[in-house]
Structure 1
């Protein structure tokens, strides 16, 4: 079966809270900067959830993970997608795999009997729509070559890798193997830098991943600066061109800057009443890859990505409903 996109990534269930600005000071005392993604251990996360529950009550539970959010968006727009991940044989793991199926994402994942639980991310959204994430990778941190579906990679137009995977030695090896399979079969490779904190903490690993081959690179401004180690965005853009055939830098409400291999162009953003930026970059990447797989040029794909992201930030949570994805596709067309 011919596929559009094959991906591997962390299987993370999001536990989302709306918090007030004054709670940020408590987070900072725990070395959790506002707007960041921080990796934490299970006990730390459990204590944080208890604190949030006491302060704000019930949370919203949803399936997340950066690459998964992108693949779910692409699938709902009409792309044929496959996703490889690792979950535990627990309630959250079963919930996660069932959710992939509901979104028409193919998978061949086995549930793990490890002592580690399915990964979770506590996502806290302040009134200014900024999201702060504290993630426990759990069994997802054990993602390895054993979880790859090489046939799916060979049969796809694109292999999509999330930068978060460089935090795990075995997951990074899986990325290397997936890239090797992709290059041997003519499958193009797209990579997301994922988070500034990941780039800074795992710089050598991130560089080694991208050196395996990168046709399209996704990042935001802070990630571009961190990766290039240049404060000037224009200099950062030059650095990205050296490691990828094409790249896209998201600019929040201002849209994105794209390099199509020959020229740089700014794609204007769309007006939105943002309440939650969680998942905006994910839907952007999924939307861009969907349009490229349809045969559209990078500029058109980036416009669609910006439009989809403008709709995502108006909703609470990292994903939209099936009808909302469909409406975006119809309106853009």
Structure 2
């Protein structure tokens, strides 16, 4: 399939504010470890004032995936809402600098909300606890979706976190219709087990009707299918989705596709910051998929990309992913 764009991501447009903290900081500030919590403006200001030195890096789950794909040389674009403000300009610049297209209409300067940001608190074990102020990202709506652009994509990649928006599910539906009308395919990431709990019925309806690739970690997949048994969850996904890619942390990743099951081991690396591991797994996997690679190679690419990003602070690659792939015989 030779289309102008290989993958268009649709999801949150967030600037990550990342700080290394001690374990006790979480308890002292009422932060639940290892998950994403939605917060309001006041809570964002409070946490920022307490978290010490921080680094600002453009983020957003699907945006990280698209940035990774762009770094690998894929033809990509992104749809996510930011405001016409300083952080919005940073977000747009960073994506375009990676080589991804970004043309989502900006929220005006007089909009009541601001560009979204995520306070990422990283403990010494590398686990990240995310506190997200969605800001204008929450207001992604059907009018932000360019149907012609969607029709020109091989794949669209939908971010589960965006199910929390009042109009974003309608935006997803518009994007899916346009993409499917011209032979394109749909991928979705579940994003977070608590997000799945909030929107399980909507996730399942979309997955069963329209999704060609489901990307999840073991906790998200088990949450989706209301089971604590990963084998049961994978079997249910296998019956409903053409391709499922399920990550299992330090044990690597499973791929279920057309009756075939493969497993790829994780890349051995010292975990510095787990932020973005799933996002970059999706980038590596989609890179292999759009390049016509076999399932094991796709999964190995995903694990290698995830391994790169957890080896440093921040959710976007710093090393040359193409060189890393070539060194492993995946170029």
Give the TM interval when normalised to the shorter protein.
over 0.9
**In the alignment, does 2:87 pair up with 1:88?**
no
5 Å-filtered alignment, 1:120-269, equals 120-269=117-266
**Shift in Å at residue 202 of structure 1?**
2.0
Other structure's SS at 2:231 match:
helix
Cα distance in 1 between the residues matched to 2:208 and 2:176: 10
| Residue of structure 2 equivalent to 1:8 | 10
| Contact 1:84–1:149 (Cα < 8 Å) also in 2 | no
**In the alignment, does 2:277 pair up with 1:275?**
no
| Larger displacement relative to structure 2 (184-193 or 256-265) | 256-265
Cα distance in 2 between the residues matched to 1:141 and 1:296: 35
| Larger displacement relative to structure 2 (129-138 or 294-303) | 294-303
Cα distance in 2 between the residues matched to 1:208 and 1:144: 20
Deviations 1:195-238, CA, capped at 9 Å, x for gaps: 01101122223223323411110000110111110110000111
| Contact 2:283–2:305 (Cα < 8 Å) also in 1 | no
Deviations 1:232-287, CA, capped at 9 Å, x for gaps: 00001112123311101101121101102212222111211111110110000011
**In the alignment, does 2:324 pair up with 1:328?**
yes
Query: CA distance change for structure 1 residues 242 and 26 in 2, over 3 Å: closer, same or farther?
Result: farther
| Contact 2:152–2:179 (Cα < 8 Å) also in 1 | no
| Residue of structure 1 equivalent to 2:21 | 19
**In the alignment, does 2:84 pair up with 1:101?**
no
Cα distance in 2 between the residues matched to 1:115 and 1:149: 25
Cα distance in 1 between the residues matched to 2:261 and 2:326: 28
Q: CA RMSD in A?
A: 1.3
**Shift in Å at residue 172 of structure 1?**
0.9
Deviations 1:2-33, CA, capped at 9 Å, x for gaps: 11101211100000010111222224xx3x32
| Contact 1:38–1:197 (Cα < 8 Å) also in 2 | no
**Shift in Å at residue 329 of structure 1?**
3.2
Moved over 3 A (4+): none
| Contact 2:304–2:325 (Cα < 8 Å) also in 1 | no
| Residue of structure 2 equivalent to 1:291 | 288
| Contact 2:17–2:118 (Cα < 8 Å) also in 1 | yes
| Residue of structure 2 equivalent to 1:51 | 50
| Contact 2:139–2:168 (Cα < 8 Å) also in 1 | yes
Other structure's SS at 2:7 match:
strand
Normalized against structure 2, the TM-score is what? 0.95
Other structure's SS at 1:75 match:
helix
Cα distance in 2 between the residues matched to 1:167 and 1:308: 28
| Contact 1:175–1:209 (Cα < 8 Å) also in 2 | no
Normalized against structure 1, the TM-score is what? 0.94
| Contact 1:269–1:306 (Cα < 8 Å) also in 2 | yes
Cα distance in 2 between the residues matched to 1:259 and 1:326: 25
Other structure's SS at 1:34 match:
coil
**Shift in Å at residue 49 of structure 1?**
1.1
| Contact 2:263–2:299 (Cα < 8 Å) also in 1 | no
**Shift in Å at residue 85 of structure 1?**
1.2
